[in-house]
Every structure is written in C-alpha cells, then in structure tokens.
Chains A and B, each alone.
Chain A
Amino acid sequence: MNAELTSTLDSRVLALADDELILAHRDSEWTGHAPMIEEDIALANIAQDELGHATLWYDILCDLRGQPDEHADQLVYFRDAADWRNAQLLELPIGDWAFTMLRQFLFDQFEWVLLPALAKSSHIAVAQAAAKVLREEIYHTRHSTAWVRRLGQGTAESHRRMQTALDVQWPLASQLFVPMLGDAALVAAGIWPDMAPLQQQWLAKVSEMLAECGLVAPATAATRISRHTHTEHLVNLLADMQSVARLDPQADW
C-alpha cells in the first residue's frame, strides 16, 4: 500500500474507531440507571461490545502507524476534541430511553450495511475485523430493532418521544456516510466500499422501520457535515472521560 492509501485508510479506520468508542461511552452511562434491570445488563453488554470493536479498530490503526498497542490509549485519553473523527450523532448526550434506542438503531443499521461490504476488503486485517464485528452486531441490531418497534408502536407518549428523537437525529445521521478525502482511491483499490450506495441501502432499511412505526423523518436539505466538526458535547464528554488519565500522564493505570 502506498503512503497516500495508508493515510486515507488511517482516516477511515480512525473515524470508525471513534464512532464505536463514543457510542460505547454514551451507552455505558446508562449502567445502573436504565428503565429495568434487564436493560442495565443489556446496555452494559452492548457498551462492552462497542468498546471492544473500538479497540479492534484502534489496534489496526496502531499497526498502520507502526505504533505499539499502547498508542490506542494515547489516542483515547490524550487527544483533544478537534482531532476526533466520530459523527456528531454519537456524541450527543444520552437523552431519554427513546433517544438512546433510536441512535443505537440508526448506528446499528449503518454498521449492518457497512460491515458486510468491509468484510470483503482487500486489506486482510480490515476484512477480518469487519467479519468479527459483524457477528456481534447481529445481537445489537436485534435489540435496537425490537426497542424501536416497542417504543414507536407502544403508547402515544413513547411514540411522541421517538418522533422527538428522530427530529433531532435525522439531520445528523447522514454524517455517518459523509465522504472523506481520498475515498475514491480506497474504493478503487478495493480497500473500502463506496459509501454512496451503502447510504441508499441504509435509507431503504431505516425508512421501512420508520414507516412501520408511523414515524416521519423530517424534511431536511442535504447537508454535508465534515467529520472534523463537533458539538460542545464532545468537549464535555472528553473532559470527563480523560480526567483521571490526564491527572498523571506518566502513570500506568
């Protein structure tokens, strides 16, 4: 792989790792505070899976950069908001249970279209990681789909809360598919799939569920938010997440 391809793949893998890490972090905030014990357990489980996936992608990044595995902790605990590449959708606070479940659903469906394509990557490590993650995503997808159905079709209140969540999240969800510099070369080399057709697949799948629940996606003009821009929620999240590690950068925790 030439230097340009390596650098582009680096950006793509970093974006995916950051997506997983930030979502894991948000999901883990429910532990001990969920609407029922069963969901404390389920969401803690999903958070661990997403954290595991993030670690997997960070490890690939370490290899791409010729860095030891500890580099992953450096990336997570000593990087400022401006250098994170996660989608804004994932950094928003957890909100209510409807907000968390809808976000999880939109992201699970994103992975559900991305990972099978990524599992065919010509880059062996990427393909293997994608296949591994995909196996666990089956359970996440099942969980979040069941919740979108229950809440979307449960009571008038649960439906209203889902619609409110959708109004906030819908304009941000397309950022998951936003093009990144150098994509064309990665696609040509068979390393990363073309995101545009994946977005269409995602849209079809998600729209089907929204229709089943009588939820209406707000009409928004197509915006392309770069993965370089963030809300202040990420700054606050990082201030909290990195606080202990940054107390003593020399320490081995």
Chain B
Amino acid sequence: MTQATDITLKLAEFETRIARGEKIEPGDWMPDDYRKQLIRMISQHAHSEIVGMLPEGNYITRAPSLRRKMVLIAKVQDEGGHGQYLYHAAETLGISRDEMEQALLAGKAKYSSIFNYPTLNWADIGIIGWLVDGAAIKNQTMLAHCSYGPYSRAMVRICAEETFHQRQGKEMIVKYAQGTSNQRQMAQDALNRWWGPVLMMFGPHDSDSPNSEVLIRWGVKTQSNDTVRQLFLDEVVPELMAIGVQIPDPQLRFDAESKHWKHGPIDWAHFWQVVKGNGPMNKERLAARNQAHDNGAWVRDAVTAYASRK
C-alpha cells in the first residue's frame, strides 16, 4: 500500500468516526490540518481566558460591596483556571504550554478581540458577565459537541462555571437598570460601548468565513458563526428590552417571517483593525502580560533552583 492511499484510508476512517459522533482522543490518528486547527483554536481560547483576566481584574480593587468584591475575585480566578485547563487540553496535541505562552507574549498568537476594549465604569463588569460571557457560552456550548475529546470535555466543565458568571452579570445589570439614576446611566453607558464588540465575538459572517466548511465537516465547529450569533441575539434582545435599556442599534428589528431578531450592519473594518492589533487596548493587554511574565522571571528561577537542590 502506498503512503498516499494509506493516508486516504486513514482520512476516510477518521471522517467516518466523526460522522458517527465518536470523539477523537489524543493518541488517535488525525489529519495534520485537524491538529493544527485545534491547537490554534484551543490555544487562542486559553489565551483569551488569561488576557480576559485583565479588563475585569481592573475593577477588583473597586468592587462596591463585600459581596461584589468576593464574586469578582472568584470569577477572575475561574478564568485563570480555565486558561490553565485549556493549555493542558492543547498540550495533548503536542505543543507545550511554554511555546503557547511565548507566542502570546511575542504578539504572535491571537486571543478574543473583546478583551482589547477598556473597562470604564463599574457596570462594565455586569455587561461583561451577562453579554460577553453569554456570547462565550453560546460558542462554548457549540464547542462542547466538538469532535476532539479533551476540548469537548473542557467545554462542558467551563460552560458550567460560565453560567454562574453570566448569572451574576445579569443580576447586576437588571438591578442597576432599576436602580438610581447613576446606576441606570452606568448600565446604559456600558451597554452602548460593549454591544457592537459583543456581536463581533461570533466572528465574520458565514459568507466571509472560508475555514468554516471543513471545520464543520470535521466536527471542530458544529454550527456556523451566523447561526450562533442568531441564537445569542434571540435570547438577549428581549431580555434587555424588558429591563428598559436601549440597545444601541437603530436598525435592530424583529423579523416576523423568520421569527428572528435582525441586527443592523456590523462594522467589520473596525473588527479587523482590532484583530490586527490596533484596538483600543491591544498594546496595554500585551504589555501587562509581558510585565507579569518579566517580573516573575526571578521567582520562577528561584523555584527551579530550590527544587533542584531538594
């Protein structure tokens, strides 16, 4: 049997397994492109959790009650835990955490662009919990069905915790929308700034997303970007309207025929600018990660030196 036919057979078997709904596990044969795609997705996801600690971490020192302070520290801690867990999942594909961290620090790796926006008032923490984590849950629920076992299982576990995050964020915004005029203003201001970037979290429209077809066939993604965005929209639009905040999209409308909410145009030029590193906080986020890493160098050296003598 030639090498080429061998690979064709293996690929056919691999695709059959996925079509049957089986999970692919770390030691199993997989196409190089599948491995590469998963490393890219899982490491980007891990980086997003780690960088994602920064915008919310910004408000830990200012959380306005003992309870809010406790919840926020716990939430940001969870994100660190998710990052650690996802780095482990990616390591099962033959890349080291160190390689992934170096790629992030060097600015070569991507992470979710949503974390390149600043947190400017306390209600941002509520909006991030409700909408950013809410959007992430929609993506992650889809990924929990993905064909790669370790990633799928990580998603199940992470979704469970994210659901708590979303609940506390929503609780804040619902309360502030009915609170004092300061609180209402804060909640509206936060929504105004985060709404557009949140819709971009699901990625480009299907017509502009060239990778999607093979990713769906291999069970890496199980639903298209626009499908998941629509699920999110249909869930949160009525909830936001019910509490009396204004969604900053004058063209947002309910389409009676399809029974779906339809959003106005998304500013994709801006999206690509942020992806390319020119968003409002890209440089600061990367600098903060590098600073933590550089400041920790002597600590890690000390740990290694101490361990080598014991």
Contact = CB atoms under 8 A, between A and B. Distances in A.
Contacts of A32: 53-54, 57, 76, 80, 288, 292
Contacts of B305: 154-155, 158
Interface in A174-196: none
Nearest to B121: A244
A223 interface: no
Contacts of B74: 44, 48
Given A29-B60, A244-B64, A157 B288 contact: no
B223 interface: no
Interface stretch (B174-182, B229-237, B256-264): B174-182
A44 B66 contact: no
A162 to B, nearest CB: 9
Interface string A50-69: 01101100100000000000
A153 interface: yes
Interface in B158-188: 175, 179-180, 182-183
Interface stretch (B32-40, B213-221, B293-301): B293-301
B60 A28 contact: yes
A206 interface: no
Contacts of A149: 306
Contacts of A245: 64-65
A219 interface: no
B73 A97 contact: no
Interface residues of B, number: 45
Contact of A35 (B59, B179, B292, B306): B292
B68 A31 contact: no
A150 to B, nearest CB: 4
B266 to A, nearest CB: 29
B62 interface: yes
Interface in B27-83: 50, 53-54, 57, 59-66, 68-70, 73-74, 76-77, 80-81, 83
A52 B73 CA distance: 12
Contact of A244 (B63, B66, B175, B292): B63
Interface string A136-172: 0000000000000111011101100100000000000
Interface residues of A, number: 49
Contact of A154 (B64, B291, B306): B306
Contacts of A40: 53, 77, 80
Interface in B278-310: 288, 291-292, 295-303, 305-306, 309
Contacts of B76: 31-32, 44
A68 to B, nearest CB: 14
A45 B77 contact: yes
B298 A73 contact: no
A10 B70 CA distance: 24
B53 A31 contact: yes
B84 interface: yes
Given A40-B77, A44-B76, A51-B69, A25 B84 contact: no
Interface in A29-46: 29, 31-38, 40-41, 44-45
A53 to B, nearest CB: 11
B122 interface: yes
Contacts of A252: 175, 179
A253 B64 contact: yes
Contacts of B303: 150, 154
Interface string B95-120: 00000000000000000000000000
B300 A251 contact: no
Contacts of B77: 31, 40-41, 44-45, 48
A155 B306 CA distance: 8
- What are the 8 tightest A-B residue pairs by CB atom distance, in nearest-first order? A35-B296, A154-B302, A158-B302, A44-B77, A32-B53, A245-B64, A35-B299, A32-B57
6 contacts: A32-B288, A37-B84, A47-B73, A48-B77, A237-B61, A253-B64
Interface of A: 25, 28-29, 31-38, 40-41, 44-45, 47-48, 51-52, 54-55, 58, 72-73, 76-77, 96-97, 149-151, 153-155, 157-158, 161, 237, 240-241, 243-245, 247-248, 250-253
Given A155-B298, A251-B64, 20 more contacts: A28-B60, A29-B60, A31-B73, A31-B77, A33-B288, A35-B297, A36-B296, A47-B73, A55-B66, A55-B70, A76-B66, A150-B302, A154-B303, A155-B305, A161-B298, A241-B62, A243-B62, A244-B64, A251-B180, A252-B179
